[in-house]
Amino acid sequence: MVWTLLRGDVREKLAELPEKSVQCVVTSPPYWGLRDYGLPPSVWGGEPECEHEWEKFVRPGQSGGKKSKKVQIKGQENFQIVPDKEQSICRKCGAWFGCLGLEPTPELYVKHMVEIFRGVWRVLRDDGTVWLNLGSSMINKTIESNEMVLRNDLTKEEVQYVLEELLKYAKQP
């Protein structure tokens, strides 16, 4: 058995792989708005040939919660505080310049996640499996279910794939 760990921008790494060449994918992508991993921003969407004219804005920060024992274990009052974050949108083509999980809206996050998982679908073998850890996020005292939002944006065939083939694990408290 041979396994390979790929590290880098998921879109670039998936593009390097041949179609139907992967038997197993294990991933825990960033939840929307929950944490800033300190990664450099990248361009999402828009037109590849565009000479971007970036319009900057600040995405307001938010807290992932202070009372959880899991937060206190990290040794800080709240390691999940996401600070205000400067981002940009291209005036010409609508591309977004930022980090996955820190999109200004859940809809844009879903669009990016669907883009990624269409790439996963392309490289996944017919007998392949996906292990995805993607649950709910508490944002401004409202539970956002990333899983259900994603399913609303997938095609009928992709929803069937998610429901029938996707192996999902849940962390136990």
Tell me if 113 is assigned to some domain: yes
Tell me if 52 is assigned to some domain: yes
Tell me if 5 is assigned to some domain: no
CA 168 to chain CA centroid, nearest Å = 16
Chain position carrying tokens 């937060």: 71
pTM of full prediction above 0.95 = no
d(CA 93, CA 49): 10
Listed residue (49, 51, 52, 76) closest to 64, CA to CA: 76
Packing angle between helix 156-165 and helix 106-123, nearest 10 degrees? 70
Tell me if 4 is assigned to some domain: no
Q: Would you call 69 helix, strand, or coil by DSSP?
A: helix
**Residue of 4 and 97 predicted with greater confidence:** 97
**Residue of 98 and 106 predicted with greater confidence:** 98
pLDDT in tens, 36-88: 788 899 999 999 999 999 999 998 877 655 555 555 555 555 555 677 889 99
Domain ranges, residue 14? 10-165
Give pLDDT, residue 123: 93
| Chain mean pLDDT for the chain | 75
